[in-house]
Structure 1
Amino acid sequence: MEVVARGIYQHIILGFARAVVYSYNRLTGISRTTMPGPALTGTTSASLLQQCLTAQDGLPPLLTREFHSVGVVGNGDANADSIKDSNDCIRVMTWNTLADALCLGSDNFIKCPKKALKWETRKYRCLEEILTYNPDVVCLQEVDHFPDFYQPMLEQIGYKGTFKPKRYSPCLDVLHNSGPDGCAIFYKQNKFEVLETISQGLTATAGGRTWKSNQVILCHRFRCLTSNLKGREVVIGTTHLKAKPGYDDVRHSQGVDLLKIIKPKVNDAPVIIGGDFNAEPTEKVYKAFSECDLNFKSAYKLLDGEATKEPAYTTWKIRPAGDVCHTIDYMWYTYSKLAPVSLLSIPTEDAIGPNRLPSYGYPSDHLSLVCDFKFVT
């Protein structure tokens, strides 16, 4: 009941605050979308990446990471080193990009220089992170610059993007915000066509009460177009579950609802779900995914070598109370139909640095997860 009462109270207070902020923004006509900056244009990932690097002249290099072969395919019956042709694989990225409207305020990154948190500093670094790894499908969370940045930047080089905003985004509480944050998916149009889309809010349950929550699921059923995979279908989706301690039951119910939503849409196709679950592996929502009848496994457990544990962290920041170091981002896949071939490494503590994330060297408090998948059936 405490969670429910707190939720109702917050909903009333935030509703009033949003009305005030919205009115102020309308009166002043100011928003983050009006910030000036050099326009980048390109026809390929490589050319746009080079322009990103030029636009960021003076900043330290992006946090360096490498791909590692995971050593097994499917259920462990083959070696990943035997897979040579990248045209047989699908590269998927999932990443909480850190909403612009939140990073300078409520997120309280006390060790990060203010300039490093400004959108003018971060935006091309965010784009650089995506372009550096050149994923076929990009699953993003906490996106509040979809129409004015991510969409025009990525669609000019052949991606197609879709966006599902949160109903009551906390970004709307910030003066001069650029709109609600939400989840976005970008995919290479020369590699996929969309057969079906799921874009809806998730239902939550706690304290005997059920409601349509602020969190969403965005998911596409794709048909592959490249010659080696032509006709193959795969379902790829993303989500960002409820944050903050004390909401374990809410996250669990949201995850259960997500699984319920996508299951009828699978039609025997493999599934990949990447996102910020805001839940450690000890939480019930993690167990719900690992034990569901969609045959899910977590790709990043394979970095362990023994496939027995998740990385030590996927987010690491310093707030007023101290270090916040957690594993809460995951990429789930149908292990009976897909095999992770290689995974982008998690940087070491020394590489991240004593002031943690975000920083001049990395634009978000969450690390991106990138995996190459191969069909095994």
Structure 2
Amino acid sequence: MGGGATRLYSTLAHTLSSSGGSSHRVPLPLAHLERYQPADTNLDPDLCQGQKGSSLSPLDPAEVLRQCKEALSDRPPRFRRTFIQPSDSNAGTIRVMQWNILAQALGEGLDSFVQCPPEALNWSRRKYLILDEILTYRPHVLCLQEVDHYFDTLQPVLVRLGYSSRFCPKPWSPCLDVEGNNGPDGCALFFDESRFELLDCVSLQLSAMTIPTNQVALVMILRCRITMRHVCVAVTHLKARSGWEWLRSAQGSDLLRQIQNVVQTHTVRTSAGSSVPIPLIICGDFNAIPTEEVYCRFVTSPLGLDSAYKKLSQDCSTEPEFTTWKIRPTGECCTTLDYIWYSQDTLRVDAVLDMPSEEEIGPNRLPSFSYPSDHLSLVCDFSFKEDE
């Protein structure tokens, strides 16, 4: 990335860090960020033509999926994952995908996956694996972290598949330290426009003890076009690495507070004057195992949250054994860091996508030729309890 872009991001970071106070709506000049995103000339030109995808004709999801599979025909097959269904779904089911897709700059430059072949990390193939995963499950709501190819790939392709979206980059993204980077990574939230109407979107820079941090979140208020019910969806990516447990806890508390503030401004009242609670879905790479304080804060939150992926366990009380499995110079990491939280009083979990086996993942772990990220996608089907 050229010096002009680097100066832009440095100025942006300085502006955010000097604003002080608690979490706030981040005034990110995305139009300026977009200017520095190169066009992806390797992707099929019928899928992605520059950055103005909204002005192009719609795409057939089945055709895009076919093109992805054709581009990957010489690679090992993807994992075969099935849905575990605690109960029957209905026409009002909302499918949500949570996924840290692995920033391209980090995968190639900083994360050091020592047993992953360098060829498996090439964006020319990895982008097809990412699109293949998304289009296989066709979520109505898609929550992504470590997105550094938003403007040149994901947004232009997905907008032509009927998705609308917002992107919130980290103010001091480590991607910018990698030579040849594609800009800062951040969180992105996509929703199916045929299913939802956007009522509000808030971009947040999370704080710890009123001090702004490098972690961000997006919070959307959506209205379901089938049930006309409102739902609040949030996506975040908390601070990584051991030793930062206290910071993750503070960021999680700040996020919960900010979400509650957003929800309160969109309170729906009945004809009798009583308020109707807005269901919450909070997705993210929390970088926290289930015994960490930030996890406990979400479990005990007055918002009445539960973790959807506990439905995979027989007693519905424990998380999966892993959502990420990788090998770095420091050793092997197999643990659960990713979650989909939901309002257990107003939403019902209809189905949960299971995890691949150790044999399917393979001895070199993730990422690999058959999977583009070191984190596995989480996919859940929800329905409003009143619609049972």
What TM-score do you get using the length of structure 2 for normalisation? 0.83
User: What is the alpha-carbon distance in structure 2 between the residues aligned to residue 337 and residue 216 of structure 1?
Assistant: 26
1:228-286 CA distance string (max 9 Å, x none): x2x11100110000001100000000000000001022232000001100000111000
Aligned partner of 1:116 in structure 2 is 120
Does 1:264 pair with 2:261?
A: yes
User: What is the alpha-carbon distance in structure 2 between the residues aligned to residue 222 and residue 38 of structure 1?
Assistant: 32
Give the SS at the match of 2:218.
Answer: strand
Aligned partner of 2:187 in structure 1 is 183
Once the two structures are superposed, the pairs formed by residues 269-348 of structure 1 within 5 Å of their partners are 269-348=278-357
Give the SS at the match of 1:162.
Answer: strand
The CA deviation at 1:127 is 0.6
The CA deviation at 1:60 is 1.5
> In the alignment, residue 212 of structure 1 is paired with which amino acid?
P
Aligned partner of 1:160 in structure 2 is 164
Quick check: 1:316–1:366 contact (8 Å CA) kept in 2? yes
Aligned partner of 1:59 in structure 2 is 75
Quick check: 2:37–2:151 contact (8 Å CA) kept in 1? no
User: What is the alpha-carbon distance in structure 2 between the residues aligned to residue 49 and residue 295 of structure 1?
Assistant: 38
Does 1:212 pair with 2:212?
A: yes
Unaligned runs of 5+ in 1: 1-17, 23-29, 72-79
Give the SS at the match of 2:365.
Answer: coil
The CA deviation at 1:33 is 5.0
Aligned partner of 1:45 in structure 2 is 61
User: What is the alpha-carbon distance in structure 2 between the residues aligned to residue 331 and residue 283 of structure 1?
Assistant: 16
1:169-219 CA distance string (max 9 Å, x none): 0011111111100000111111101111111100024xxxx4100101101
Does 1:254 pair with 2:258?
A: no
User: What is the alpha-carbon distance in structure 1 between the residues aligned to residue 354 and residue 306 of structure 2?
Assistant: 18
Quick check: 1:160–1:188 contact (8 Å CA) kept in 2? yes
User: What is the alpha-carbon distance in structure 1 between the residues aligned to residue 375 and residue 232 of structure 2?
Assistant: 24
The CA deviation at 1:144 is 0.2
The CA deviation at 1:44 is 2.4
User: What is the alpha-carbon distance in structure 1 between the residues aligned to residue 342 and residue 43 of structure 2?
Assistant: 39
Aligned partner of 1:27 in structure 2 is none
The CA deviation at 1:40 is 4.2
Give the SS at the match of 2:70.
Answer: helix
1:41-100 CA distance string (max 9 Å, x none): 36222121111111223112112211111x2xxxxxxxx1xx353x22000000000000
Give the SS at the match of 1:186.
Answer: strand
Report how many aligned residue pairs link the two structures. 335
> In the alignment, residue 198 of structure 1 is paired with which amino acid?
V
Aligned partner of 2:365 in structure 1 is 356
> In the alignment, residue 218 of structure 2 is paired with which amino acid?
L
Counterparts in 2 of 1:316 and 1:259: CA distance versus 1, 3 Å: same
User: What is the alpha-carbon distance in structure 2 between the residues aligned to residue 313 and residue 34 of structure 1?
Assistant: 33
Does 1:95 pair with 2:99?
A: yes
User: What is the alpha-carbon distance in structure 2 between the residues aligned to residue 373 and residue 157 of structure 1?
Assistant: 22
Quick check: 1:220–1:235 contact (8 Å CA) kept in 2? yes
Aligned partner of 2:50 in structure 1 is none
Unaligned runs of 5+ in 2: 1-5, 11-35, 48-57, 268-276
State, as a whole percentage, how many aligned pairs show the same letter: 47
Does 1:245 pair with 2:242?
A: yes
User: What is the alpha-carbon distance in structure 2 between the residues aligned to residue 342 and residue 311 of structure 1?
Assistant: 15
Aligned partner of 1:148 in structure 2 is 152
The CA deviation at 1:34 is 5.3
Q: Runs in 1 of length 4+ with deviation above 4 angstroms?
A: 30-35
User: What is the alpha-carbon distance in structure 2 between the residues aligned to residue 187 and residue 34 of structure 1?
Assistant: 23
Counterparts in 2 of 1:31 and 1:295: CA distance versus 1, 3 Å: closer
Counterparts in 2 of 1:84 and 1:317: CA distance versus 1, 3 Å: closer
Quick check: 1:316–1:365 contact (8 Å CA) kept in 2? yes
Quick check: 1:33–1:178 contact (8 Å CA) kept in 2? no
The CA deviation at 1:35 is 5.5
Say what the alpha-carbon RMSD is for the aligned residues: 1.9
Give the SS at the match of 1:104.
Answer: helix
The CA deviation at 1:106 is 1.2
Give the SS at the match of 1:88.
Answer: coil
User: What is the alpha-carbon distance in structure 1 between the residues aligned to residue 190 and residue 374 of structure 2?
Assistant: 21
Give the SS at the match of 2:240.
Answer: coil
User: What is the alpha-carbon distance in structure 1 between the residues aligned to residue 192 and residue 37 of structure 2?
Assistant: 30
Aligned partner of 2:385 in structure 1 is 376
User: What is the alpha-carbon distance in structure 1 between the residues aligned to residue 89 and residue 131 of structure 2?
Assistant: 28
Aligned partner of 2:26 in structure 1 is none
Aligned partner of 2:197 in structure 1 is 193
User: What is the alpha-carbon distance in structure 1 between the residues aligned to residue 351 and residue 46 of structure 2?
Assistant: 31
The CA deviation at 1:321 is 2.2
User: What is the alpha-carbon distance in structure 2 between the residues aligned to residue 47 and residue 36 of structure 1?
Assistant: 18
Once the two structures are superposed, the pairs formed by residues 216-235 of structure 1 within 5 Å of their partners are 216-226=216-226, 229=227, 231-235=228-232
Quick check: 1:33–1:145 contact (8 Å CA) kept in 2? no
